[in-house]
Amino acid sequence: MESRTRLPDPSAEELAHAGQLRERIVPAIAAAGGQLSFETFMDLALFAPGLGYYVAGARKFGRDGDFVTAPEISTLFGASLARQCAEVLARTGGSIIEFGGGTGRLAASLLAELARAAALPAAYYIVELSPELRERQQQTLRDLAPGVVKCVHWLHDAPATPVHGVVIANEVLDSLPVRVFERQGGRTLERGVGLDAQAQLQWVHWPADPTLMAAVERCFDSAPPPAAYVSEINARQSVWLADLPRFLRKGVALLVDYGDPRHERYHASRDAGSLRCYWRHRVHDNPLLYPGLQDITASVDFTAVGEDALAAGFEVLGFASQANFLLACGIEDLLQAQLADAAAHARLALEARILLLPSEMGTRCKVIALGRDYAHPLRGFGPRNEKHRL
């Protein structure tokens, strides 16, 4: 789904948008003494009010956007996930909360499968900050799942009381702003953003503070970090997970994202970091290009997710590749159910390959299940629960 070919040129309108955001970033650099942390830059690039990538009005998901997520690829993803949700809801009752609903296709396919199984939640909440995406989600649900729209509600923050049920976060953690560190000549430096002689954005670096140095040391399990190395620390992930009890009182949180356990995420061979930028279905590694127009992500350290979850009062119930999780949830049965319609079956079979193959999303994406007051097996992790790898 990715290409490293030449990037398309932005339109004049898009360049004007990036210029407006740059007019906010440059004063922030000046206010920071000429060197802005990358975490702050990424926060502005993605979430600056009215201009950041995720809150401005440009299309982001699907063929007309910059990238395609699993729910956009196939309804099989949401339908498979629905089976895991149904199992949890049968024990907890209650609701489902989805963070960052994209175009609404995950909610539509998941709720359609739950309706078919007579297992609809009491309510389905979508936590969405973007007004444009909220409108797209509402339209998608009206078009694809009109029978279940009445149970869907939108939130800007946590519900009045934490729910019993399920929390879903698909490709949320990888979009949280990160700090970037660099090992150089045995020293740990922090990478940030400054301006060159022509007032263009450029990388700058300075000695890492004690907090960043301690976080880097944890990444390498007390072994000396490589002498030359660049990577990222997601400090906001712990904040996000610490806030999760405001959303879920009893049940399971299912987090799906690109990433690996710590010993793989920070392997010595991965010395160039994991920052990825998506623009018109091309992927590249220059996050300083076109601020506000492109997505910026970094791979998830799932060991840190487990540690932060434990600190927040959750238990790690399961960890698996996306392929193993979907297979355990019965994606093959859902595919076989379409055999009577040859065209639909052929289309879904191609979509399933993208979701399952190691060369596509099958092993690059992982699923972690976090339980709160929930002590039951989960079907999605039964055959291949790999939480020991964390």
pLDDT of residue 245: 98
Nearest to 182 by CA among 195, 174, 192: 192
- What is the domain-level CATH number for residue 146? 3.40.50.12710
Residues of the chain where predicted confidence (pLDDT) is lower than 70: 1-5, 57-67, 222
How many domains are there within the chain? 1
Assess if residue 288 is contained within a domain.
Answer: yes
Q: Is the pTM of this model over 0.85?
A: yes
Give the span between the Cα atoms of 22 and 48, in whole angstroms: 11
pLDDT of residue 151: 95
pLDDT of residue 112: 96
The 10 Å Cβ neighbour count of residue 253 is 24
pLDDT of residue 221: 77
Assess if residue 4 is contained within a domain.
Answer: no
Assess if residue 145 is contained within a domain.
Answer: yes
pLDDT of residue 367: 98
In sequence order, the 6+-apart residues with CB closer than 8 A to the CB of 317 are: 252, 369, 370, 371, 374, 378, 381, 387
Assess if residue 6 is contained within a domain.
Answer: no
Assess if residue 3 is contained within a domain.
Answer: no
Assess if residue 2 is contained within a domain.
Answer: no
Assess if residue 1 is contained within a domain.
Answer: no
The average confidence (pLDDT) of the chain is 92
Assess if residue 7 is contained within a domain.
Answer: no
pLDDT of residue 190: 98
Give the span between the Cα atoms of 263 and 382, in whole angstroms: 24
Question: 348 vs 163, 169, 327, 342, CA distance in Å?
Answer: 34, 24, 14, 10
Residue 22: give the domain boundaries: 12-389
pLDDT of residue 64: 53
pLDDT digits (tens, 9 = 90+) for 91-106: 999 999 999 998 999 9
pLDDT of residue 340: 72
Give the span between the Cα atoms of 105 and 159, in whole angstroms: 22
pLDDT of residue 345: 85
pLDDT of residue 326: 97
